[in-house]
Structure 1
Amino acid sequence: MRRKDFGAMACPVARSLERVGEWWSILILRDALAGITRFDGFQASLGIAPNMLTRRLNGLIESGLLEKRPYSDHPKRFDYLLTERGRDFRPVLQALLTWGNRHFAPEGASIIILNGETGTAAEPILVDRVSGRPLSDPVFRNAPGPAATAAISQRYAAAAETSA
């Protein structure tokens, strides 16, 4: 059974999931953001089969999240380095970490986000750059953007009617 292709959908969430929605891909990005760059490093960290790791690395390269650079010719070996697009995934990963600590860690946080200057734990929230208000404030809602399809506009119009 073939899975649905989200890449052609107009929704930015669906398009993002097409690139990183597979759990191995997110964990590879987590490790890359932590400084792992080599195949054997990813494999040791994740315990993933080599053929699966190769597929996921290639997918992240094709999606523009990683780039592959040789570091040895004999034998041929590569570093897998984050691109700007890959580095931009950091706040998404931090949001997942925060959410996971809050809702799925009854034993307590196993990983925290630390301020390197003060040594204190950060308390992450998503904030609107313009107003400085947290996006969890009820004043914020999703709405169709300039490139919205008719289906997206209809979906949000229907949601607005039911919440009014």
Structure 2
Amino acid sequence: MQRTNFGGMACSIARTLDVIGEPWSPLILRDVWVGLSRFEQLQADLGISRKVLTERLHHLVETGVLERRPYDNRPRYEYVLTEMGTELVDMLMVMTAWGDKWLAGTAGPPVLYRHHACGEISHVELICSHCGKPMHARDIGPLPGPGAAATA
């Protein structure tokens, strides 16, 4: 099936969806982030078909989110996050916080996160890069940026 190409839209959400806008890619990135870096590990953890996993890994390498590195003399590779991929995991952490708040149920979150800097169990929160105050959708307003599509 032909995927819709969102990469050409003048919208950062659409462009990001062009990279990870189907369900397997964020889960692959999660697995690579936690240390599952080899094809067989990813396939076993996700229960994904070899064909789909191959396609997704190729796409993530092609877009610069993952890097493919050989790990032995046979043609075998492992996948590691690039700088771009690591920053994409930051976005996934925001999704995790939302899922923990709204979907975890009475059992609570399935995974806890320890912040290396302070050693405490914590969660990601969005803050303003200028004043440091919390930043939520109700607290901001969008304005056209330098990359906005030109109006006729």
TM normalised by structure 2 equals 0.90
Distance change in 2, residues 1:11/1:118 (3 Å)? closer
Structure 2 unaligned spans of 5+:
none
Q: Which has the higher contact order (CA 8 A, sep 6+)?
A: 2
Per the TM alignment, residue 112 of structure 1 is displaced from its structure 2 partner at its CA by 2.1
What does residue 22 of structure 1 align with?
Answer: 22
Segments of 5+ residues of structure 1 without an aligned counterpart are: 155-164
- Report what 1:162 is aligned to: none
AA at the equivalent of 1:144 = P
Q: CA RMSD in A?
A: 1.9
- Secondary structure, aligned partner of 1:61: helix
Q: Note the C-alpha offset of 1:115.
A: 2.4
Matches of residues 99-138 of structure 1 in structure 2 within 5 Å? Answer: 99-106=98-105, 107-116=107-116, 118-136=118-136, 138=138
| Overall identity of the aligned pairs, in % | 39
Counting only pairs closer than 5 Å after superposition, residues 30-49 of structure 1 correspond to structure 2 as: 30-49=30-49
Decide which moves more: 127-136 or 108-117. Answer: 108-117
Residue 85 of structure 1: CA displacement?
0.4
Correspondence 1:78 to 2:46: no
Measure the CA separation in 2 of the matches of 1:69 and 1:118. 33
- Measured against aligned partners, the alpha-carbon deviations of 1:13-36 in whole angstroms (never above 9, x if no partner) come to 000000011110000001111112
Matching residue of 1:93: 92
- Residue 2 of structure 1 aligns with an amino acid whose one-letter code is Q
* 1:87-139, Cα deviation, whole Å (9 max, x unpaired): 11121111011000111111311112222465432132111121101112744
Identify the range of structure 1 (105-114 vs 25-34) with the bigger mean alpha-carbon deviation. 105-114
Q: CA 1:117–1:126 in structure 2 vs 1: closer, same or farther (change >3 Å)?
A: closer
- Structure exhibiting the larger radius of gyration computed from Cα positions: 1
Corresponding residue of 1:143: 143
**Aligned pairs, number:** 151
TM-score by length of 1: 0.84
Match of 2:62 in 1: 62
Could you tell me how far 1:71 is from its partner in structure 2?
A: 1.3
